[in-house]
């Protein structure tokens, strides 16, 4: 492994992330980045364990051995983020298998020892919902293992803030959080609207898992937020009491994102913001004689299937009167599941023959099926 890692230390890398821990009782994540300390380049590790972060500065040769040791003993995956490239490595049978990942734009290397970022919800400001969800402590400090989640929800807020412009500023908003899971979005959007934007809104969260809905309801009751409702049910078929102004969804798995989009369209929502997760349905069946040279590789097939799936979803929205784009709403290092489908209702349709496109790849995805 050492010989594979060494070349990256001669390049201007931005960050190395070690993830996918081997055990649940050891370190959960490690981030290594170059910093300038007293005019010298050293490598600072930030390793997360038991909701604490531990830091260590070291020279390059020690940092290389440090990374190798962690991959041997604690982690299965490594992400290497260069200024103009992404690499991902997986440890299998004590061997490190490195592969190049997609890259969307040049990063800037910040080697300052102390860095601060500006968010809509600032660190150090206690937010009751985030305290209850275990993202920050009672003083507003973000738990180290939850920092990526904190960044994700802040970036989602940036996009959501733009979506507010599509809604009547004088009416009470109705917001659906579909496939809501632990309802990070519902709770933080409720805080954002009521405290920072002084808007009234009612939220409806839907998820299939009874235990998750029970937990969300308990948090709602503790926070005394009667404008939040959580319903256990299938997003495709559940009866919802009010039509939505905005539909949001974070990491709805596989075909669930298609169900979210369809329910949003049926409701006539002004905005639909969906961050997909997993694309197993299309990946199983996608085929093309023209693309055999690529689809013969499992990893490339999986990624191409994801792109096709989300492109069909975006075009489906356009077919139904939404101006749609696809964007990276958060940096890859904060979450590899960082693609958002953003759609605003215009009632101006763009005709795409999606059935023909799907047939070309021998697929029949849920987004094109008649419910």
What pLDDT is attached to residue 51? 67
- Classify strands 271-277 and 246-253 as parallel, antiparallel or unpaired: parallel
Range of the structural domain that residue 241 is part of: 128-368
Per-residue pLDDT of the chain (371 residues; tens, 9 = 90+): 888 888 888 887 788 999 889 888 888 889 998 888 777 888 989 888 876 778 889 999 999 999 999 999 999 999 988 877 888 899 988 889 998 877 655 555 555 544 445 678 888 888 999 999 999 998 888 888 888 888 888 888 989 988 888 888 888 999 999 999 999 999 999 999 998 888 999 999 999 999 999 999 999 999 999 999 999 999 999 999 889 999 999 988 889 999 999 999 999 999 999 999 888 899 989 999 899 999 999 889 998 999 999 999 999 999 999 999 998 876 555 455 678 999 999 989 888 999 999 999 999 999 999 86
Query: Within this chain, do residues 341 and 192 fall inside the same structural domain, yes or no?
Result: yes
Domain match, 204 and 276 both:
yes
306 and 236 part of one domain: yes
The enclosing domain of 276 has a CATH number of 3.40.50.150
Structural domain contains residue 259: yes
For residue 368, the SS3 value is helix
- Give the pLDDT confidence score for residue 322 in this predicted structure: 96
pLDDT at 208: 94
Tokens read off for 126: 């206690």
Q: Give the model's pLDDT for residue 101.
A: 78
User: What's residue 173's pLDDT?
Assistant: 96
Kindly state whether residues 157 and 295 are assigned to the same domain.
Answer: yes
Question: Are 91 and 150 in the same domain?
Answer: no
Please, are residues 112 and 58 in contact by the beta-carbon 8 Å criterion? no
- Do 245 and 345 fall into the same domain? yes
How far apart CA 338 and CA 315 sit, in angstroms, is: 19
Question: 322: which strand partners?
Answer: 345
Which residues 6+ apart lie within 8 Å of 300 measured at CB?
Answer: 294
Residue 41 lies in a domain: yes
Domain count, the chain: 2
Whole-model pTM? 0.70
């Amino acid at each position: 492994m050492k010989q594979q890692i060494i070349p990256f230390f001669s390049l201007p890398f931005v960050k190395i992330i070690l993830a996918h821990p081997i055990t649940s009782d050891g370190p959960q994540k490690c981030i290594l980045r170059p910093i300038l300390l007293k005019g010298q380049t050293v490598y600072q590790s930030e390793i997360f364990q038991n909701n604490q972060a531990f830091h260590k500065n070291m020279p390059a040769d020690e940092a290389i051995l440090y990374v190798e040791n962690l991959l041997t003993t604690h982690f299965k995956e490594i992400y290497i983020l260069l200024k103009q490239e992404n690499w991902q490595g997986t440890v299998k049978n004590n061997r490190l298998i490195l592969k190049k990942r997609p890259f969307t734009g040049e990063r800037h290397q910040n080697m300052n020892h102390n860095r601060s970022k500006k968010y809509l919800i600032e660190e150090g400001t206690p937010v009751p919902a985030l305290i209850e969800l275990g993202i920050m402590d009672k003083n507003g400090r973000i738990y180290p293992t939850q920092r990526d989640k904190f960044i994700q929800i802040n970036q989602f807020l940036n996009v959501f803030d733009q979506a507010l412009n599509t809604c009547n500023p004088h009416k009470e908003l109705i917001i659906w959080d579909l496939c809501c899971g632990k309802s990070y979005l519902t709770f933080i959007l409720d805080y954002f609207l009521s405290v920072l934007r002084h808007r009234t809104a009612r939220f409806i969260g839907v998820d299939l898992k009874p235990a998750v809905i029970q937990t969300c309801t308990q948090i709602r009751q503790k926070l005394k937020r009667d404008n939040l409702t959580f319903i256990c049910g299938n997003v495709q078929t559940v009866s919802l009491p009010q039509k939505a102004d905005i539909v949001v969804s974070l990491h709805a798995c596989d075909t669930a994102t298609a169900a979210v989009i369809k329910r949003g369209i049926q409701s006539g929502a002004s905005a639909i913001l969906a961050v997909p997760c997993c694309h197993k349905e299309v990946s199983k069946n996608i085929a093309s004689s023209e693309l055999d040279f690529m689809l013969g590789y499992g990893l490339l097939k999986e990624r191409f299937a994801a792109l096709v799936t989300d492109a069909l979803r975006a075009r489906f929205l356009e077919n139904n009167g939404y101006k749609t784009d696809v964007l990276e709403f958060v940096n890859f290092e904060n979450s590899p599941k960082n693609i958002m489908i953003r759609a605003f209702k215009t009632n101006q349709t763009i005709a795409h023959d999606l059935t023909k496109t799907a047939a070309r790849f021998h697929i029949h995805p849920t987004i094109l099926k008649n419910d």
